[in-house]
Each structure stands twice: as C-alpha cells, then as structure tokens.
Amino acid sequence: MDTMLLKQMLASPTTSSELLVYDPFQTFDRESLVREVIGLANASVEGPRNILFGVNPGGVNGARIVGIPDSAVGDLKRAHRLISGLVEPLLDLAFIFDRIDGKLVGALEIDGCEFGPYFLAHDLSDELRRGACWQRDDRELVEIDRRELLNGHAQASVEDEAETLPDNVQVSVGFNDDPDCEFIEVTAPDASSPPFADEDMNGGTSTTRTIAQTLKDTMRLTTQMLNIAKEDQSSDDGSGEVDDAGKEIAEAARNHYFYEECAAKVDFCIRNDSDTTLKDLAVEIGMPRLAGLDVADRIYTNPFDKRSANAGSNSTYPDVEHRDNAVFARTTIGSIAANETQSLLGTSLRFAVRNKALGKKLGLRYILRAADGRKLCQGRVKIRFNETPA
C-alpha cells in the first residue's frame, strides 16, 4: 500500500497545496520541516497532504528519483515524532517509505487537518516563537496571522453547516453527568505497589511458586488453571508449562492492577440540545500521547477471580487505537432523544497514570458523525490528573 501511494506521488511530483517535493539536495532540519508541516496543514484543500523526500522533480530521463540514504529514514522517523509535539492542535503524522528502482523514497503524511488553524505550540528558536503560523498556497509558503485563518475556518464551517446539516443539530459534551462541564480534575489512584513487582520474571520458578501459592491461598480458578498451579514443582517434567503459566498470570495481574484496579476512570456524557432525535452517531475521542499516561484498550479482569463482572463490560468498552503520537477511542450511539443526556462511551475510559503525567492538562478532541459520514459536531474538553492526597 505504501508503494502504491508513493508511486502515485511520483507520477506527478509537483509541489502544490497538497504535496511538497522536498529539495533532495538540501539537508532537512527541524525548523524547516515544522514550517512545512504547519503550512500544509493550513492549506485550503481536503484530505491528507504529503512531504515527499528523495525526488528531484527537475530530473529527466527517469533520473528524478535521487533517493535518501538509509540512515536518513531513522532521522525522518524521529523528526516526525518530534514535530507532532510542536504543532497545535493535534495532527495525525505518519512517515512511509519504500525502495523504488533501487532507491529509497519516503513521504511524511499529514492527516486530520480539520481542526485548524495550526500553529507552533512551543518556542523553537529566537525566530520561531509559539503561535507562529504558516499556510501553503500552491508553491508559496506564507507566514500568516493565525487569527486570519481562524476567521476563515469559522466562515467555512458556517457555510458547510448551511449546506449539509439541519439547523437544529446541536449537542453538548462533558464529564460524568454534566454535559456543560468542559474541564475536570481527576485524582489518580496510587499505583506504586503493583503485584509481583519484586519477582524476577525471567527466573521462572520463584515467580511461579509465588503465584501458585497465591492461587492456593486465595480463591479457586477454573479446574484447568488449578491443575497447572498444583503441578509438582520439584519435578522437571512440565516445569516449562508452569513457568509460562506463572508469567502469564503475573502479567495479567499487573494489567488488571494498572488498567482497572488503580486506573483513573473517566466518564463522558452527551446532551442532545436539538429538537429532534439523533440516531446512529459515530463517536471519536482523540488525544495526544502523553509521557506517563496510557489508555486501556479493554477492561482487564483479575486473573485470581474469574467471577469478575468486568468481563461482560468489554462489549460496551470503546475501540481504542494507539498511534505513535495519539490515542483514539471510538464507539457508536444508537439514538439520543431531544434534550436527553446519556453516556457518551457507554462505560468509563480507563487511564493508567504515572508520575510524569500528574499535574498536566490533557486536551481531548471529540467528533460526532452521522451514519453517512457527515460531521455533525466537534469540540474539545480537558482533563488534569492530580496526585492522590497524602
């Protein structure tokens, strides 16, 4: 698929508002790349945009593929991860590459450009300060006041709604039972004592015996698991199976601890502010990756309690996708009557919070779409995770 996309770009490698052909004879640097990413993100076009590396559009007789050195692939991957943290609001960035005609060609794909204007999120140098903004207009990259773009986006949004959306489609999204609550502070449970933290998971028998004894001293599992736990630990036969089973149980116990028992559980709600019932809504909540913060991809059950009621709740847990620079939670809403308030995701979203994420404010972007894919609304809410009081 990557090769096909690259070949489509190579068919007409001309710089435009959708594609920048990066000068193959110029060393790429962070400052120029962040300018170009922001400029393309703010361009007045639909869909993803790309920066193409390793191509000289002026080449003739098939010589326009110059290629990039193998070492540059790693540099470009690191650069796109770094740039993702320098642009606000959140963008979806991905670096793709392949060998074509024996030479490496790559492209930085810029997607999710519906929430502009985009601008520099942090001071980068004396010349590039927070709030700086660019827009690519065909072959020209122009520095622009983002307030001009903000007015343009607002006007475009009004025109789009006038053409495609009913006048009375309005919703409010918030936390818990309050759809007007756009910011919430959540106390993160203390997760400093995970199970089997002091055990050597590579040693095998010590951990396995500890888990086996715990199984016997606490509650019974299924017959199969109980038989594994009761294996003769002094016998060489079957010891590998016991070790493997012990490691799996220990890992499951840690996952349950971090993502369920000591997770910060956040509930979202939605109110239909329109005068008509809304049906078959697709819901997406996106957030940037934050050091020390992770989102559970499912509800993890306690391996020592197979009676846990959480297992059935996975049917209502949203689909969670982890990307290099962002996390997305998605679900659907069957219907919501006029003026009705209900849960947005169906169940609490689980956040595993470590020290690095404490005290930091996390912005979450939500999008609601109709069954035909039309965007009904979008907005932002914010969370701050605080330390458990001593």
167-171, 260-264, 368-372, 377-381: segment of lowest average pLDDT: 167-171
Q: Of the residues 162, 182, 216, which one is the last residue of a structural domain? A: 162
The answer to whether residue 200 is domain-embedded is no
102, pLDDT greater than 80:
yes
Same-domain check for residues 55 and 121: yes
In the chain, how many domains are there?
A: 3
Report the amino acid identity of residue 42: N
Same-domain check for residues 312 and 376: yes
Provide the pLDDT for residue 209: 53
At what angle are helices 239-256 and 205-217 packed, to 10 degrees?
70
Report the sign of the C-alpha dihedral through residues 161, 164, 168, 174, in that order.
Answer: negative
Q: Residue 219 sits in which domain range?
A: 205-261
381, pLDDT greater than 70:
yes
173, 379 Cβ separation under 8 angstroms:
yes
94, pLDDT greater than 80:
yes
205, 239 Cβ separation under 8 angstroms:
yes
**Pairwise CA distance, residues 115 & 163, whole Å:** 19
The answer to whether residue 45 is domain-embedded is yes
Q: Which residue from 81, 77, 66 is spatially nearest to 26, judged by alpha carbons?
A: 66
Which residue carries 């499912």 as its tokens?
A: 298
Query: Who wins on pLDDT, 383 or 80?
Result: 383
The answer to whether residue 198 is domain-embedded is no
Q: Of the residues 261, 288, 303, which one is the last residue of a structural domain? A: 261
Same-domain check for residues 86 and 177: no
Average pLDDT rounded to a whole number, residues 189-211: 62
Same-domain check for residues 209 and 230: yes
264 strand-pairing partners: 351
Same-domain check for residues 16 and 100: yes
142 strand-pairing partners: 135
CATH code for the domain in which residue 349 is found: 2.60.40.2550
200, pLDDT greater than 60:
no
Q: What is the DSSP letter of 128?
A: S
